[in-house]
Amino acid sequence: MNNKRRWVLAVPGLAILASLVAVPVLLQVVTSMGLDETSPRFPDWAAWNRFFGSSLYARVLFKSLWTGALATLIAIVIAWPVGWAISRASRTAQKWLLGMVVLPYLVSTVLLIYGVFVLLAGNGPFMSLLALTHLVNAESSILYTHSATILMLAYEALPVMILVIYASSENIDQVILESARSLGAGRFKRFTKVIVPLTLPGLLAGSVLVYVPSVGSFVESQILGGPNGIMIGNVIADQIKRINDPVFAAALSLMLLAGVLMSIFLIGMLVRPLRASETSR
Amino acid sequence: MTRNLRLCVFGALVILYVPLLVVILMSFNESPYGTFPFSFTLKWYDSLLGSNDLLLASWRSVWLSLVVGTLAAIIGTMLAIWRVATSSNLGVATDGLLVATVAVPWLILGIAMLQIFNLLGIGRGTVPSIAGNTVVVLPYVVFVVVARLRGLDENLVDAARSLGATPIKAFYRISLPLALPAIIGGALLAFVICFNNFTIQYFLLPLGVRTLPLEIYSQVRTGYSPAINALATVILGTTVVLAVILERLGAGSRQIRAKGNSWRS
């Protein structure tokens, strides 16, 4: 295929990427300034005045940002030993374990949410089992609280996180750990001084991969979160599905995007010292 | 693996699988509310066969995902062939656009796409939904196929060329067959992601036209029938089969690479 006409192959792909991703997302900026039939004039700053005029929306945005962060952190804590353990397993065991980790990731999110919904329901299997201990009432449950949303998001993040930590641990040579041990590094020191710096780049990539959809999620909070579990995603989706206000939806989407980008930037700044110490050695 | 690590792995697998196992168990349980004691029944599978809503939604999902998977495989493979060959700035920009498509939350993409379809006077519909789902799964196909094409042994193409094959013939006879496992793998991945993609379908399909994720969502919100448990179990089984096929395709590609390397040495 060494000819000049090869660029023809790229045309359909580039055309749909440009017209359905680049242009629409950029267009949201103009939409938020009132370019829509629901808006009385253009430019019109009503949507932005509404966002900055009350602390309500900023509060929901911050709540979504920390909810995503918390879910990501929970996933990291659970996934780290697992990803590490799989990277130290035999080839055959790795294949099976990775397959088992990937499978839930291929299942529909709505179906997973539904599974957790059934599991947590008052009088459901989980609460019935707990009630056997007579410590809790079978009808009480964390279902319809914000905790349920956070746990659900962490649950969804788990397969990705395990895979990412596995991928970045796989290349760590056992010899490095052995030499750290022979030089007198204890278990904790080997973890903080060897494993953490070496897996950090992969871990960061995985965190972003998990964090962004968590902050922008809305189905989890809608089904599991109850009245106080509202996320910025619910507010945005409602503008489209119930209220028909695409102008405000565009402004909220842009703020969500800005918030996500800013928190990724912050995470990058926070881990910079760790990275610097890695390269200086 | 030490004993502690083994416990961690076991614990994580329990966490991952308990919600799925609960759904499967419920599908065979007499009580519709998931309460104990457990008594075996197949009546929910029977009522699934009588539930037109769920069957229609399943059919719509399969149909949509087949179209989207096929489109994404064709367009994505074409884009990947171009991307591997070019080193232009446009190629780098395309990488950025593909990553952005994966990184921007689907909620924002869905709303932005709906807005542009509204401006064009098309609005919600089957065609917008096909286009929107295709663009969302496209990066996955491109990433998989590009990785495979970059991993191919260039000597094989050179050998075909020196034996008199035209560049196009060398591509169709050598590169394409070798890349085929990745293309099929990418298409299957696209199928699975589209089949499960609630958000894009939520915003782009016409009101009242429900695919499976939308149907499950609406039933969970308005009071669900336990036939969902039966359907979920069927879908889980199908997913396992698809995952095994995906795995086999990956295994096949490793074999070819190993052969290529041994040939080179």
Candidates A94, A97, A118, partner chain B, best to mutate (most B CBs within 10 A): A118
Mean pLDDT of chain A: 86
Q: Please state the rounded mean pLDDT for residues B194-212.
A: 93
Q: How many angstroms away from the CA of B45 is the closest CA of chain A? A: 17
Residue with tokens 């005045």: A49
- A3-37: per-residue pLDDT in tens? 567 888 999 999 999 999 999 999 999 999 988 88
- A235-261: per-residue pLDDT in tens? 999 999 999 899 999 999 999 999 999
Candidates B38, B220, B222, B248, partner chain A, best to mutate (most A CBs within 10 A): B220
- Percentage of chain A modeled with pLDDT above 90: 43
Burial of residue A242 (CB within 10 Å: 0-12, 13-18, 19+) is exposed
What's the per-residue H, E or C state across chain B? Answer: CCHHHHHHHHHHHHHHHHHHHHHHHHHCECCCCCCCCCCECCHHHHHHHHCHHHHHHHHHHHHHHHHHHHHHHHHHHHHHHHHHHCCCHHHHHHHHHHHHHHHCCHHHHHHHHHHHHHHCCCCCCHHHHHHHHHHHHHHHHHHHHHHHHHHCCHHHHHHHHHCCCCHHHHHHHHHHHHHHHHHHHHHHHHHHHHHHCHHHHHHHCCCCCCCHHHHHHHHHHHCCCCHHHHHHHHHHHHHHHHHHHHHHHHHHHHHHHHHHHHHHC
Contacts of A84 (CB under 8 A, 6+ apart): A165, A166, A169, A195, A199, B5
Confidence of residue A67 (pLDDT cuts 50, 70, 90): very high
Considering the domain architecture, whether residues B1 and B117 belong to the same structural domain is answered as no
Q: Are B116 and A23 in contact (CB under 8 A)?
A: yes
Confidence of residue B207 (pLDDT cuts 50, 70, 90): confident
Counting the structural domains of chain A, the total is 1
Q: Which residues of B touch A115 (CB under 8 A)?
A: 19-20, 22-23, 232
Give me the CATH number covering residue A125: 1.10.3720.10
Check B33 against A123: CB less than 8 A apart.
Answer: yes
Contacts of A213 (CB under 8 A, 6+ apart): B105, B106
Closest Cβ–Cβ partner in A14, A113, A155 for B94: A14
pTM: 0.87
- B90-127: per-residue pLDDT in tens? 999 999 999 889 889 999 999 999 999 999 999 899 99
DSSP lists the bridge partners of residue B29 as B40
Candidates A5, A32, A114, A243, partner chain B, best to mutate (most B CBs within 10 A): A114
Considering the domain architecture, whether residues B2 and B35 belong to the same structural domain is answered as yes
Considering the domain architecture, whether residues B126 and B252 belong to the same structural domain is answered as yes
Confidence of residue B25 (pLDDT cuts 50, 70, 90): confident
Q: Which residues of A touch B97 (CB under 8 A)?
A: 17-18, 21-22
- The least confident of A90-104, A230-244, B129-143, B201-215 is A90-104
Preceding peptide of B37 cis, ω within 30°: yes
Considering the domain architecture, whether residues B67 and B125 belong to the same structural domain is answered as yes
Considering the domain architecture, whether residues B197 and B103 belong to the same structural domain is answered as yes
| A to B CB pairs, distance under 8 Å | 256
Mean pLDDT of chain B: 86
Domain around B33: 1-41
Check A25 against B12: CB less than 8 A apart.
Answer: no
pLDDT at A157: 93
Considering the domain architecture, whether residues B35 and B56 belong to the same structural domain is answered as no
Considering the domain architecture, whether residues B59 and B23 belong to the same structural domain is answered as no
**Helix axis angle, A146-170 to A55-87, nearest 10°:** 40
CA distance B56 to B50: 11
Cβ count near B229 (within 10 Å): 26
- Position B72 in a domain: yes
Check B216 against A108: CB less than 8 A apart.
Answer: yes
CA distance B82 to B85: 5
Considering the domain architecture, whether residues B235 and B147 belong to the same structural domain is answered as yes
Q: Please state the rounded mean pLDDT for residues B40-48.
A: 86
- Position B202 in a domain: yes
Domain around A194: 55-280
Q: Please state the rounded mean pLDDT for residues B129-155.
A: 92
Q: Is the pLDDT of residue B252 over 90?
A: no
CA distance A155 to A152: 5
Q: Is the pLDDT of residue B144 over 60?
A: yes
Considering just the CA atoms, what is the radius of gyration of chain B in Å? Answer: 23
Counting the structural domains of chain B, the total is 2
Q: Is the pLDDT of residue B73 over 60?
A: yes
CA distance B176 to B169: 10
Q: Is the pLDDT of residue B200 over 80?
A: yes
CA distance A161 to A77: 10
- Position B81 in a domain: yes
CA distance A268 to A213: 18
pLDDT at A1: 46
